[in-house]
Structure 1
Amino acid sequence: MTSVAPYDSKPRPPAKWTKLPVVHQLRQSVGLQRGMLVAGLIITGVFILTSLFAPLLAPYGFSQLRDASGPFGAQQPPDAAHWLGTTVGGYDVLSRVIWGSQTAIVVMIVAVLLSIFAGVALGLVSGYFGGWLDRILVVVSDAVYAFPSLLLAIVMAIVISGGRSDLVGGILAAAISITVVFIPQYFRVIRAETVRIKAEAYVESARVLGASNFRIMFKHIFRNATRTLPLIFTLNASEAVLTLAGLGFIGFGIEPSAAAEWGYDLNKSLSDVTSGIWWTSLFPGLAIVLVVLGITLVGESLNDLADPRLRSRRAPGASDGTVAETSVVPGGTLVAGPGGLAGLEGPASPPTDGIEARE
């Protein structure tokens, strides 16, 4: 009789690195959902790395017009010296695309972080205290949310920079306009969670024990009300890139001598498309599409994994019909009876009547 290895009743705890936000979602996802998440992470990772190492990756500066051999020339097709050609202004397209990732990520981070801080603070105060302050903030939030973001960006560009599209003015105009538009989204989510959480038993217990409102808000409510913020962050980040590109496309972007910006390059390449010069508009537009696609894939995948109703499940493996003999008692294997397991699985014997039994 084979000996049975002792059963370890204490399962090993998972490694700490498996609880990291992105790693946890990757382990949780399956099938097509995992493919979407991995694709989004790869595209977003390439975008972030490109922005960080832009000085090393870009062959030329974002406003460079000549090198040791002379001027670049305008609208030059792709060749060995300029892999993606040159623009109508004589700038290297590849360098402008690489340097433009820095401008996009700076605007995205500044805008989303400012809107998170403002939206979370207002949502906590409004949902916890309620009353007339809550009603006023809700009305203001609805009014701001209905305002067109691009129109607000134009107004902010004029107010902040006076119509001058320098680096600081363009980034602040885009970031502040996006911030004002995104604040109502964070405000609504945090306010709804705060109203729900403040009625929980542990919050009432903390209040009875004499905890201050500040401690209850930031010690007990804040941690539980901000679990969905990473999802909103990823979805709003893609919208921030689109708003920046739209601002530059209509002429309120950043001048090429101050920084590289994809929307501005698209604006300057409109006349090239009708002339068969495709490289000046293709690559900046492709950069915008890929960045927005990558961030959106990450956000949608995280949203599905956070909702149990949308989370994909692994299909159960097909069974071969074999019933394993399992040792459940000390000293051997539990059998089914005189007929063994086959006796249970075989066809049932026909019933006998009383006459056959007497015979």
Structure 2
Amino acid sequence: MATTTAPGAPAGAAPRRGWRRLPVVHQLRQSVGLQRGMLIAGLVLTGLLILTALLAPLLAPYGFNQLRDADGAFGAQQPPSAEHWLGTTVGGFDVLSRVIYGSRTALLVMIIAIAASLVIGVLLGLVSGYFGGWLDRVLVVIADAVYAFPSLLLAIVLAIVISGGQSSMWGGVLAAALSITVVFTPQYLRVVRAETIRIKSEAFVESARVIGASNGRIMLKHVLRNATRTLPLIITLNASEAVLTLAGLGFLGFGIEPTQAAEWGYDLNRAIADVTSGIWWTSVFPGLAIVLSVLGITLVGESLNDLADPRLRTRRASADVTGDVAATSVVPGGALTAPGGLEGLEPGTEATR
């Protein structure tokens, strides 16, 4: 079987377009102008959040609950210095270390909450949309009721039920993640349900039924793949909401104890009294970490949402065609050519037929 190669590539060279079809790379190549700038900025901020969370023990100068070193105690509310680049908190913790370790807590909540809500919501949406009937009506009513419930209030209730308001690292992470899961699940359920209802009437699904495929095989092999194409857009937007919900829990005093894990919302809560005293570093840096994390994830989600619009792809295709046409001279009867091609023409000469 003959293989095709890119123009100008050596004969027998393997195709090099595989990596260009990767999800993020593909969207980045589709983007133009402001969309590309927003997507790149979002990817950079999100990448910094992930790298900081993964490399927290290497980047943080101290532990998140460390109060002293070889020279003695750090001291409370110390201003930024060579020993503590971002100062210390009212509890005597290093601000930079807690900001760095706080990214790990935020990332854990995002992963657990989105993974759980994605699995539950997709499965319920498939079942609801494919079978319909009374089960569909019951699931839709429950989803609407849960979706109408305030997410932060639900998070507070679950945090109290699970851990009594104050908890260890995993207790606080699971309390926040479970509350976010309950809120996010109806979104995935409704999206997948609507797509399943549309797809199950397509010809290829009917053909699978005719040849004797079971309902489970049709749902997993034919419907699931086509019903989940828009979920990456929802995932990115929900990730930023997960960070805000976790910070809201900590700010209201229902988060993780400072000796168990670092959490940005709790540090902001403890820094409220410092603001009136002119101590700015204990609140500015945790708040800035929340803003940049949410901003980065939101920019990625909004950019992917815009790139899902076919009109943007049409504009990019039109720009490419315009560039090609501008470089080509077309006259009635065909293009002008010269012996040996246009490259052989001297500057200032005209091509003749």
> Which aligned pairs between 1:310-325 and structure 2 lie closer than 5 A?
311=313, 313-314=315-316, 315=319, 316-317=322-323, 319=326, 322-323=329-330
- Deviation of residue 326 (structure 1)? 4.0
Kindly tell me: are residues 312 and 262 of structure 1, through their superposed partners in 2, closer, same or farther at Cα, counting changes over 3 Å?
farther
Length-normalised TM-score, structure 2: 0.88
Structure 1 residue matching 2:257: 3-state secondary structure: coil
Deviation at 1:275, TM superposition (A): 0.8
Which amino acid is 1:191 matched to?
R
Q: Aligned partners of 2:328 and 2:314: how far apart in 1?
A: 26
* Aligned position for 1:17: 19
Counterpart amino acid of residue 131 in structure 2? F
The structure 2 residue matched to 1:264, chosen from 263, 266, 273, is: 266
* Structure 1 residue 97, shift from structure 2 partner: 0.1
The match for 1:92 is 94
Q: What per-residue deviation string (whole Å, max 9, x for no partner) do you get for residues 296-351 of structure 1?
A: 000111111112135572343494894487489xx999xxxxxxx999xxxxxxxx
Is contact 1:29–1:312 with CA below 8 Å preserved after alignment? Answer: no
Which residue in the other structure is 2:210 paired with? 208
Of 188, 191, 196, the residue aligned with 1:189 is: 191
The percent of aligned pairs where both chains have the same amino acid is 75
5+ long unaligned stretches in structure 2: 7-14, 342-349
Distance in 1 between residues matched to 2:291 and 2:118, nearest whole Å: 25
**Which of 219, 239, 245 does residue 237 from structure 1 map onto?**
239
* Residue matched to 2:124: 122
Corresponding position of 1:35: 37
Per-residue CA deviation, residues 193-231 of structure 1 (Å, 9 max, x unaligned), is: 000000000000000111000000000000000111111
Structure of higher CA gyration radius? 1
Count of residues in correspondence between the two structures? 328
1:37 CA displacement: 0.4
Q: Scaled by the length of structure 1, what TM-score is found?
A: 0.87
The answer on whether the counterparts of 2:125 and 2:193 sit within 8 Å (CA) in structure 1 is yes
Q: Distance in 1 between matches of 2:149 and 2:328?
A: 63
What's 1:298 paired with? 300
The aligned residue for residue 257 of structure 2 is 255
Q: Tell me by how many angstroms 1:15 deviates.
A: 1.6
Displacement, 1:166?
A: 1.8
Tell me by how many angstroms 1:161 deviates: 0.9
SS at match of 1:251: coil
Which sections of structure 1, spanning at least 5 residues, go unmatched? 1-8, 334-340, 344-359
Change (3 A) 1:279 1:332: closer
The alignment yields a C-alpha RMSD, in angstroms, of 2.3
Asked if 2 retains the 8 angstrom alpha-carbon contact of 1:30 and 1:312, the reply is no
Counterparts of 1:69 and 1:332, CA distance in 2: 81
User: Which residue identity is paired with 1:58?
Assistant: A
Q: 1:166 to 1:10 in 2, by over 3 A?
A: closer
Determine whether 1:141 maps to 2:138: no
Superposed CA offset, 1:13-49 (max 9, x none): 5521111100111111111100100000000001100
Amino acid at match of 1:93: V
- The answer to whether the 8 A contact 1:50-1:98 is kept is yes
